Amino acid sequence: MGEMMNEGQSLANDIDLSQFYQIFFEEAGENLDQMEQMLLALDVDKADDEELNAIFRCAHSIKGGAATFGFADVAELTHQMESLLDKLRRHELNPTAAMVDVLLESSDALRLQLAHHQGRGNDTPATGDLVARIYTLANGEEADAPVAEAAPAPVVAAPVVETPTPAPARVINKPVAKATRELEIHIGPLDNVAQADGVAELFRDIPGLGTIEPLPCDQANKRVYRATTTSSDADLMDLFTFHVSKEEIRIVDLAAPADDAPAAPVLAAGQDFGFFDGAPGVPAHAVAAAQAVITAPDSTAKPTAPKADARPAAPAAMESSTLRVSVSKVDQLINLVGELVITQAMLAQKSRELDNGDNQPLLAGLADLDRNTRDLQEAVMSIRMIPMSVVFNRFPRMLRDLATKLGKKVELVTHGEATELDKGLVEKITDPLTHLIRNSCDHGIEMPEDRRARGKSEHGTITLSATHEGGSILIEVRDDGKGLNREKLLSKAREKGIDAPDSMTDNEVWNLIFAPGFSTADEVTDVSGRGVGMDVVKKNITALNGTVEIDSAEGYGMRVSVRLPLTLAIMDGMSVRVSDEVYILPLSSVIESFQIKPTDINTLAQGAQVVKVRDEYMPVIELERVFQVPRFEHSGASPIMVVVEADGQRVALMVDELLGQQQVVIKNLESNYRRVPNVSGATILGDGKVSLILDTSSLVRRSRH
């Protein structure tokens, strides 16, 4: 059996834990996001026990993983956070705003530490000051003077991240003297021999922990050890659970009355412990030393495989309901489905040439293929769709810090967090939304005293909402601030040399803020005033085939509406023919179509053309001229007008024929060829020909000039 154990230990030492790093980093990031949201939502005056427990569990999960993989700096900081949170959830301390602030700062520091371990950061942040502040807050309510005076201890702990473990490990014997206890430790069942031996080796590897000797198995066939130590049951349980699940450990104090014996297993099974939680006087660097010993290469602490067996049934079922998949694999799948859509369109086009009577089974199969292809396409596209809450959740923290910096009181209200958007769009819309919210807080929301003077509440409100409208998503950023001042905007525009006559409509005046270098700030600060931002917002949203509109009422607030397509991969389009060429118009931009006579078109100065539509004159764009389409034969048919809308403006496109509506797979023309004016992409038709997808926004801008 000894040889088998040695082989098992050797095999455990050979496991490369780096293969699990990415999973740890992703889960740690999720825990940090969740902890940050709960801290922001925490009511310090009426803190709920379940909220405090949930925040504690997030910190505990990060610390456990960090200790397992040897990230001592992360484990050290989360341990200090955990100590403070543990006292809060036990009601030994009352939560304060200062505690929430220091925990949020610690969350930021943890992100930097994790980024450094992922190779995405230059240096790890200095956490000595944070650790000292957390330690002071955690012990500020202590009545025992020596413990209160021990606050400077974290100053020694600051360099622990860099120092080797052997020297600090001896400090474990230095805390306030405790009574030595004799314990019986029952570990079972016997199929966890390797873990049980790992528990025994802890006493040999960690100086000052005590001594341990094996005893015969008990009646339940569990391994039994007799240990002499000064550590508490909670401290020991935290160490042991790196090797064996809590349910398999029972600690019996030989000096305690027999009636008290069951107390240890009940405590172990029902409570979530921190690493050396609640051990007064234990310096932070001693904790880091113990963690380093546990994760050292010569230790048998390899919890990955054993802990999988000891997991409760419920979390295992929860994990099995989700699957982590690389984004590149999803993109490849979407590309393949796109090719399938093109192939199916080709088969559908060829099937129209077949005789219905002789080929009925084939036509029925092609109809099924059409339906199944569409269902498959929708299912695959839904994989990339993620809720807007992923974007919205990062703004409360940013707004809280910005409002504090500006001395304002601002509340963020969100609606439609469950609205889904393509992952690629979510990543690209985050920065524009961030600037819009910062702009509302800095320029829109007034100072508390100004709001009181105007009869408003001291707390300004910024509302962020997302809703589906047809084939697009509408995202709105609203505030109840001072709104835009028309005269101020016109004056600023003229200072910048922008042509801004008084006859401009309100919407045209509001759109002045999108001009490059335009800013309404009276002075440049580190928040705004450089005139860089809103023009980039407009540019980025337009690049996503989206639109942005502004509505404002002075003294009441402003609303910015961003409209985006749901995805950039596949879209519904209207195919039109101009001579022998076929073009695709985004269906979301098409308003209506009608047939006219050539005499209905009026020519203005400089060759501009307009057509009258229900008592309104609309600019006409001849696609034949725009793309210089050669016309090989003269057609006597009346032209067809297709009315499209973009950026709040409508134009009529002159085409020869409407071919119908179809789903098209968008191919990036710029990356495969080069950028073409008035074209946003290309697609492959059912007959194998390439068709250009028109950029309606560019065509509308063309009509203005």
Of 254 and 16, which is predicted with more confidence?
A: 254
pLDDT at 286: 40
Per-residue model confidence as pLDDT tens digits over 367-392: 899 889 888 888 887 888 888 888 88
pLDDT at 528: 57
Regarding pTM above 0.75, the answer is no
- Tell me if 9 sits within 8 A of 194, measured CB to CB: yes
- C-alpha distance from residue 446 to each of 4, 295, 344, 403, 464 (Å): 73, 53, 57, 11, 18
The gap from C-alpha 664 to its chain's centroid, in whole angstroms, comes to 30
Per-residue model confidence as pLDDT tens digits over 658-695: 988 887 878 777 777 777 888 888 888 877 788 899 98
pLDDT at 191: 53
Q: Report d(CA 633, CA 635) in Å as an integer.
A: 6
Write the secondary structure of 13-25 as one string of H (helix), E (strand) and C (coil). Answer: HHCCHHHHHHHHH
3-state helix, strand, coil in the chain (%, to 5): 50, 20, 30
The identity of residue 318, as a single letter, is M
pLDDT at 576: 92
Per-residue model confidence as pLDDT tens digits over 604-613: 877 788 888 8
Per-residue model confidence as pLDDT tens digits over 153-162: 333 333 333 3
Using alpha carbons, select from 39, 144, 27, 123 the residue that is nearest to residue 81.
Answer: 39
Q: Report d(CA 12, CA 1) in Å as an integer.
A: 16
The gap from C-alpha 159 to its chain's centroid, in whole angstroms, comes to 32
Strand ranges (DSSP E) for 80-193? 181-187
Per-residue model confidence as pLDDT tens digits over 511-550: 888 887 776 665 555 555 444 568 788 888 887 878 888 8
Using alpha carbons, select from 417, 571, 439, 569 the residue that is nearest to residue 514.
Answer: 439
By CB neighbour count within 10 A (0-12 exposed, 13-18 middle, 19+ buried), where does 50 fall?
Answer: exposed
- Tell me if 106 sits within 8 A of 134, measured CB to CB: yes
Our CA angle for 174, 124, 428, nearest 5°, is 140
pLDDT at 108: 87
pLDDT at 249: 81
Strand ranges (DSSP E) for 423-517? 460-469, 472-479
- Tell me if 642 sits within 8 A of 655, measured CB to CB: yes
- C-alpha distance from residue 689 to each of 286, 618, 682, 685 (Å): 71, 32, 10, 5
Q: Report d(CA 237, CA 231) in Å as an integer.
A: 10
Q: CB neighbours of 605 closer than 8 A, spacing ≥ 6? A: none
User: What letter would DSSP give residue 441?
Assistant: I
What is residue 132's three-state secondary structure? helix
Using alpha carbons, select from 112, 147, 101 the residue that is nearest to residue 25.
Answer: 112
What is residue 264's three-state secondary structure? helix
First to last CA, the chain: 88
Per-residue model confidence as pLDDT tens digits over 195-234: 556 667 667 666 667 788 888 777 667 788 888 888 777 7
